[in-house]
Amino acid sequence: MNFSLGKLLKGDRILWVVLGLLSLISLLIVYSATGRLAYREAGGNTFYYLGRQLIFLLLGFGLIAFLVNVIPVKFYTYIAPLLLVVTVGALVAAFVQYKLSPGKATPRSLDLGFLSFQPAELAKISLMMFVAKVLAKRQKSREELRKAFYWVMGASGLVCGIIFLGDISTAGLIFMCIMILMLIARIPAKYLLITVGGGLLLLTTVYFTADFIPASVGRVHTFKERIDDFIFGDDHAELGTTQADYAKLAIYEGGMLGKGPGQSEVSNYMEAAYNDFIYAIIIEEYGIFGGFFVALLYLILLYRGVVIVRRSNRTYPAFLTAGLVLLLVFQAIINMAVSVGVAPVTGQPMPWVSMGGTSMLFTAVSFGAILSVSYHNQRNKEVVEPPVMIDMPDEDEEL
């Protein structure tokens, strides 16, 4: 049986290395950061969440390999509209479920009984697939670009608007990445500036009118409180007891070189040490150098995404890759910014590192699509470029 791991891991090899390193970091830091959770939820079994994370990582790698080896890039164009409809249905169902059971459900999650997931994670993928399709089909004239803008704004406005009711930060993240993608796709800058200005005006209005809006309407009060806490501090908590304060303490304790693997103490006091503030625990254990290394991996992901986009000979794969890479990298940057205290708390996990379940599988779909485009580029290059022929002298010609 001839089996080669290299044949299975197709696409950009550097991206596969980045995934492997992020996976190793994820296992190490999740094991360290879930001690408190393990004693509270798993009877003190500190290996429970490590094993859980390993299973989801392996499932994620399996899903990526399946997408790269089996699913053609063109398939994403076919399913994009249907997937977008499913996304809207899931988002509406999650919000309705929350309204019917406000004490048991959250507007972010949809509980199907046998499975619970965040529809916003599905929205990131489906919306990027749909937006990439619209932009790719309308590149021939200025009029088509204008029509593409309206189509994109209609779809993203609907999806991000529903997400906004339960998760303002995720809605903002998706909207920002779509704006950048439209800029890449040559949508006139005046349309984008007007849209961004309208978005900033909306956020400003929500902030200043939050006190007059009923608490039952979305999470506008949480939005305002987090911004106020970031600017003025949390008046309702004792000094040094908030998640942001613990994150600062973890970074201070880590210093330049860190305290060593598994030596985190701050994670025993943080509720979101394994998720939203995982970057602070990375720095506590591995120091500033460790934090820089993790940031470097995401910068490499961004660079390889640019390389894949430039090598694409079709617009749809290029736009799809650009959109998904922007989502992954900006989400990681937001997580890091929150952990080091330069941005308000948003609740954004670090892609492929924070402990997760179905969210990690959706992240795997993003990586799978990016690597599929990379493999597609490699195959096209092999077909287009003829083999190099060496001119041999004729027999009668003197050597």
For residue 110, which phi and psi values (nearest 5 degrees)?
-115, 115
pLDDT of residue 241: 67
Residue 105, amino acid: A
Q: Cα 36 to the chain's mean position, in Å?
A: 26
- Alpha helices (H) in the chain, listed in sequence order: 5-8, 13-33, 35-41, 48-70, 74-100, 119-137, 142-164, 168-184, 189-209, 220-232, 243-254, 278-311, 315-339, 358-384
Note whether 279 and 340 are within 8 A (CB). Answer: yes
pLDDT of residue 387: 46
pLDDT of residue 102: 67
Task: Identify the bridge partners of residue 111 per DSSP, sorted by sequence position.
Answer: 116
Q: What does the CA dihedral 312, 317, 323, 328 come to, rounded to 10 degrees?
A: -80
Q: Which of 204, 221, 222 is nearest to 212 (CA)?
A: 221
Q: Is 117 helix (H, G, I), strand (E, B) or coil?
A: strand
Residues of the chain with confidence (pLDDT) below 70: 1-6, 102-105, 215-218, 234-241, 381-399
Task: Identify the bridge partners of residue 110 per DSSP, sorted by sequence position.
Answer: 117
pLDDT of residue 226: 84
pLDDT of residue 231: 81
Overall pTM > 0.75: yes
pLDDT of residue 221: 79
Tokens of 194: 């007007």
Q: Where are the domains of the chain?
A: 10-378
pLDDT of residue 394: 46
